[in-house]
A and B are shown apart, each in its own frame.
Chain A
Amino acid sequence: GAGVSQTPSNKVTEKGKYVELRCDPISGHTALYWYRQSLGQGPEFLIYFQGTGAADDSGLPNDRFFAVRPEGSVSTLKIQRTERGDSAVYLCASSASGTGTDTQYFGPGTRLTVL
């Protein structure tokens, strides 16, 4: 079946603009994760959804970052007033139930560049 997909694959924006990044998880997966990967670093956790609700948003760096998953499938990561430091690859992953033994399946990422 289809894996995790993310759109767009690349996004270039100007400092101060608003951006939305979309994630389509594997069908039926209740858990969805967002990560940010900066150059030369591993993925850094941002937020975790279980169904429609954000079960853990402790990784969001500040209130400019927000994410939703209104119907428990597709999720959108929203960044307001973008800054150059937000430039990174944003990764989405999904897993069947969110337990620690579950395998997370990653999408290809969205490369965000803030000029």
Chain B
Amino acid sequence: AQSVTQLDSQVPVFEEAPVELRCNYSSSVSVYLFWYVQYPNQGLQLLLKYLSGSTLVESINGFEAEFNKSQTSFHLRKPSVHISDTAEYFCAVSPASGGSYIPTFGRGTSLIVHP
């Protein structure tokens, strides 16, 4: 079984400031890791994912996340946020083997970008 902890329920930040959204997970097997974003009044969409290989993964809109196995973390970062990044962000983990790839989601972090 897996679990995901998103330590911050809300992260307020000013536009153009850097941001880090924290995610820690627990699992007895190797994992795949995901960040999903939910913009206001829209469905969840995949932001980025770690499957294997390089521990640093990037999205097309400037976010990045680093898989840290020793700290069981997958924190999401962006060096300079925009108003349009205001959204709910969900971290998720799924087993990388065993045939059942059902993801477990965290509670979400609301990123609020102020002008």
A residues with a Cβ closer than 8 A to B are 3-4, 33, 40-45, 48, 56, 59, 91, 93, 98-109
Contact = CB atoms under 8 A, between A and B. Distances in A.
A44 B43 CA distance: 15
A90 to B, nearest CB: 12
Contact of B106 (A42, A91, A102, A103): A42
B11 to A, nearest CB: 15
Interface string B84-97: 00000010101111
Given A41-B107, A109-B43, A100 B90 contact: no
B74 to A, nearest CB: 14
In the A-B complex, the 9 residue pairs with the smallest Cβ-Cβ separation, listed nearest first, are: A42-B105, A100-B101, A106-B44, A106-B43, A108-B43, A43-B105, A42-B90, A45-B102, A103-B46
Contact of B102 (A48, A103, A107): A48
A61 to B, nearest CB: 15
Contacts of A99: 101
Contact of A91 (B4, B9, B43): B43
Interface in B68-115: 90, 92, 94-97, 100-108
Given A41-B107, A101-B51, A56 B102 contact: yes
A13 to B, nearest CB: 22
12 contacts: A3-B43, A42-B106, A42-B107, A43-B90, A45-B102, A45-B104, A56-B100, A56-B102, A99-B101, A100-B94, A100-B97, A109-B43
